[in-house]
Structure 1
Amino acid sequence: MSAKVLVIVGAGGMGLAVARRLGAGRTVLLADIGQDALRAAEQTLGDEGLTVVTQVVDVTSAASVQHLALTARAAGEVDQVVHTAGLSPVQAPARAILEVDLLGVALVLDAFAPVVAAGGAGVVIASMAGHLAPALTPEQEHALAHTPADQLLQLPFLSPDIVTTPAAAYGIAKRANHVRVAAAGSAWGERGARLNSISPGVISTPMGQQELAGESGRVMRAMVDASATGRLGTPGDIAAAAAFLLGPDASFITGTDLLVDGGVVAAVRSGRLGTLTAPAAPTGPSGPSGPTA
């Protein structure tokens, strides 16, 4: 019998939480651009009894992502794919965020569509920022959903003179994740597989803590305080949501986004935050993106 393979792109806090939640009884193929992060994760997860194989991947490179997909297929039956890799506004400039968070997701979805097994499923980790960013036009959303991956960053409304800040790039990229997943769900469905995204709120990962310590930290903490749960999320919260979407109880769910934010977006939209509401939609996507996670 062929081994079942769980592919996790991104060896950060969420990636490791997903591996712990779902990795038992599977080969965990863990991919990241950082060799040191992979070594540490392989050691940690291996010590916990999981079977882990690692591979360096650059999600901005179609060839690198394709190589990962071929490695996964050779390892066994690819029944679960989880994309957690990404950059936040405090970590990188605008263009790099678009390359990793927008293009990288598109490349992974394309590469794994012909590889995922029938009955399998995929999850992309997006962000609540995609729900709070200024609205794009229907034409812009259609372009983000359907433009071939190798042409995505040439879209006029993504040019560096329009998307000028890391926060704006992040919001656009995460909204692009939502619409790209919705569109790619058809290709995955042809394989008998499902595809969804998860939009975390403010999660207590190393990336989340960096954001809380940055210039947007005050707004983010106000959002958490105003939310119904009143707390930060944990990597385990996201792993639990991923386990649901990847499992049989979600067999009728595909092409959609699951908001796992503790009620932050609801608090923003209901006006509980007063002046800290989601920004009005501009004529283009160059305005503020809303909070990041």
Structure 2
Amino acid sequence: MTDVVVVTGAGGMGVAVARRIGGGRTVLLADAFPDTLDRAVAALRAEGYAAKGQVTDVSDGPSVVRLAEAAAAEGRLTAVVHTAGVSAATATVGQIMAVDLLGTAHVIDAFEPVATHGTALVCIASMAGHYATLTGEQETTLATAPTTDLLSLDVVVRAADLEPVMAYILAKRANQVRVEAAALAYNRRGARINTVSPGVISTAMAKAEQQGEAGTHMMASLTACGIGRTGTPGELAEVVAFLTGPGSLYITGTDILIDGGQAAWLRRHRPRA
């Protein structure tokens, strides 16, 4: 039986992940934009990967269910890596909630029924999620509320009045806690689920974020924390390969921070006003 890898998002992170873990497997790549998807699939096929594409809008639950069913029909579901998302620099608050918050919940829900022994799901969250200032009750609600209720939760409705950056922080924290809550159901299927929270990874989306004032501060903190550079998609893909491979069989329901020490500097060394 063929091993199947699903990657949502045909951008820099998604293609890097597909290259890293897709060798000798069927790679089912999903993206909301057909042209982007076709280019990525063609590039992977030219490099010898058994790649297929499926247009998928993660903000639409049935679209994600169709992706999960197609993946299960291809063979043994080995890994699912959810990289699809939008940026606070280029998206509205509504788009952030629909794609980054609700879309991740759809992926978690759709792939749990088709997960089998050995399946590993990794959702790309963000370092930003570590800076959410939510109450314990709010986090519990975000973690456990039915997906159909997510956009109507008070904490999410109030996000409409926030700047996109703050909405993004909320959405990414919701990703982290929702994966924590989903670990039990995945464990019962012999599967695993984790989040990876990257800092600044050198992708087209990150470059767009660097153009604004927030990006200036972000780049300055990379210098101040001592790393002095952005991360690469390949470095993120290595962590994903670990979390979807045999060396991490006892790791589930947790978050791995990949940020070059930026969060540590912000917490322990940033000058206080």
TM-score by length of 1: 0.91
What are the Cα deviations for residues 184-233 of structure 1, in whole angstroms up to 9, with x where unaligned? 11111111001100000011000000001123111111111122322100
1:264 corresponds to which of 233, 256, 262: 262
Q: Pick the aligned partner of 1:228 from 219, 226, 229.
A: 226
Identity of matched residues, %: 51
- Aligned residue in 2 for 1:282: none
Q: In structure 1, what is the Cα distance between the partners aligned to 2:74 and 2:93? A: 36
Task: Please give the per-residue CA displacement for 1:91-116, whole angstroms capped at 9, x wherever unaligned.
Answer: 11111101100100001000000112
Q: C-alpha separation between the residues in 1 aligned to 2:79 and 2:116? A: 8
Q: Secondary structure at the match of 1:114?
A: coil
Q: Distance in 2 between matches of 1:229 and 1:132?
A: 20
Q: Matched residues in 1 for 2:117 and 2:69: separation?
A: 17
CA change 1:143–1:79 in 2 (3 A) is same
Q: 1:108-127 counterparts in 2 under 5 A?
A: 108-127=107-126
Distance 1:273 1:54, change over 3 A: farther
Matched with 2:93 is 94
Greater shift in the superposed pair: 145-154 or 157-166 = 157-166
Distance in 2 (alpha carbons) for counterparts of 1:74 and 1:32: 19
Give me the CA root mean square deviation.
1.1
The answer (yes or no) to whether the contact 1:145–1:183 under 8 Å persists in 2 is: yes
Does the CA contact (< 8 Å) of 2:93 and 2:159 recur in 1? no
Relative to structure 1, the CA distance from residue 161 to residue 231 in structure 2 (aligned partners, 3 Å threshold; closer, same or farther) is closer
Is 2:210 the partner of 1:212? yes
Contact 1:267 1:273 in 2 (8 A): no
Residues 13/161 of structure 1: CA separation in 2 closer, same or farther (3 Å cut) = closer
Aligned pairs (5 A) from 1:134-213: 135-160=133-158, 163-213=161-211
Counterpart-to-counterpart distance in 1, 2:108 and 2:258: 21
Q: Which residue of 2 aligns with 1:287?
A: none
* Segments ≥4 residues shifted beyond 6 Å: none
Q: Distance in 1 between matches of 2:50 and 2:105?
A: 28
Would you say how many aligned residue pairs link Structure 1 and Structure 2?
Answer: 273
Per the normalisation by structure 2, the TM-score is 0.97
Report the equivalent of 2:68.
69
Superposition deviation, residue 160 in structure 1: 4.9
How far apart, in 2, do the equivalents of 1:37 and 1:227 lie? Answer: 35
Taking the aligned partners of 1:21 and 1:53, their CA distance within structure 2 comes to 16
Q: Amino acid of the residue matched to residue 226 of structure 1?
A: A
Look up the SS of the partner of 1:123 in the other structure. Answer: strand
Q: 1:252-274: per-residue Cα shift (whole Å, max 9, x none)?
A: 11000000000000010013354
1:24-103 mapped onto 2 (5 Å cutoff) = 24-103=23-102
State the AA in 1 paired with 2:63: S
CA distance in 2, matches of 1:162, 1:52: 38
Name the SS of the counterpart of 1:231 in structure 2. Answer: coil
How many angstroms apart in 2 are the aligned matches of 1:97 and 1:215?
19
Residue deviations 1:157-182, cap 9 Å, x none? 21156542211110000000110000
SS of residue matched to 1:96: helix
The match for 1:7 is: 6
Which one-letter code corresponds to 1:72 in the other structure?
A: A
Q: What SS does the corresponding residue of 2:228 show, helix, strand or coil?
A: coil
Cα distance in structure 2, aligned partners of 1:240 and 1:109: 22
The amino acid of 1:10's aligned partner reads G
